[in-house]
Structure 1
Amino acid sequence: MGKKNTNSITKNEEGGKSKAIWNDDLVAIYCEICVKEAAKGNMPVTHFDKIGWVNVVKVFKEITGRDYDKKQLKNKCDSLKTDWKLWSSLLHKETGIG
């Protein structure tokens, strides 16, 4: 048994859409792209607008070579937001911590 390759993309059992596999480097790249796109004004409220998502998908593919679609990237964004809310809640709202 060797080390699992976290840089690969796996096919689902039906042979359809690939599952996005994320490692720490990909998450950092994705976050940087999202911050830059939000700074351009393409995130009017809580999610990117149509132009923002097109740009995020395009730049992510250019930098990483990964052909993740909008749905995969949005799912990761939603997951990261959930994780951040939990971390923030634990850090700032719970008694006895900081």
Structure 2
Amino acid sequence: MGRKNTNSITENEGGGKSKAIWNDDLVAIYCEICVKEVAKGNRSGTHFDKIGWVNVVKVFKEITGRDYDKKQLKNKWDSLETDCKLWSSLLHKETGIGLDPAKKTVDAPPEWWQSKIDV
């Protein structure tokens, strides 16, 4: 987690809080921070407790230089959780598919893709 990115790329939404912009590196950093907070026991239920969120916001800013607030980070958590559930469902309910680690994409035969397109 020693990576530091001081770029503060955000999009301003109507003069209010800037929209959080995520790339693969930021998502990886965020996930590492979240895993550590879970390991500390700062997640009771489906989300972090008050201490957990304070830590996540603070450490994320320290590492990335981005001043994302709890709401922005929670929105990302919710989005990642939805993606994870979809991915898990796909992997456990389907046969003949996998992950191409080089491309970071779903690896499936053409027949599988065609069946999904037909649906």
- TM class, shorter-length: 0.7 to 0.9
CA distance in 2, matches of 1:16, 1:42: 30
Please provide the CA RMSD for this pair.
Answer: 1.6
Q: Which residue of structure 1 aligns with residue 84 of structure 2?
A: 84
- Shift, 1:97, TM fit: 4.3
Deviations 1:34-80 (A, max 9, x none): 00000000001111000000000000000000000000000000000
AA at the equivalent of 2:20: A
- For structure 2, list consecutive stretches of 5 or more residues without a partner in the other structure: 1-7, 99-119
The percent of aligned pairs where both chains have the same amino acid is: 85
- 2:29 equivalent to 1:29: yes
1:94 aligns with 2:65: no
Question: How do 1:1-98 residues align onto structure 2 when only pairs under 5 Å count?
Answer: 8-12=9-13, 14-97=14-97
Larger % of strand: which? 2
Letter in 2 for 1:15: G
Per the normalisation by structure 1, the TM-score is: 0.88
| Equivalent position amino acid for 1:62 in 2 | E
How many pairs align? 92
Larger Cα Rg: Structure 1 or Structure 2? 2
Separation of aligned partners in 1, 2:30 and 2:9: 16
Deviation at 1:15, TM superposition (A): 0.9
Any gaps of 5 or more consecutive residues in structure 1? 1-6
SS in 2 for 1:60: helix
Runs of 4+ aligned residues of structure 1 deviating over 4 Å after TM superposition are 95-98
Give the Cα–Cα distance (whole angstroms) in 1 for the partners of residues 40 and 12 of structure 2: 34
Q: What CA distance in whole angstroms lies between the structure 1 residues aligned with 2:63 and 2:35?
A: 15
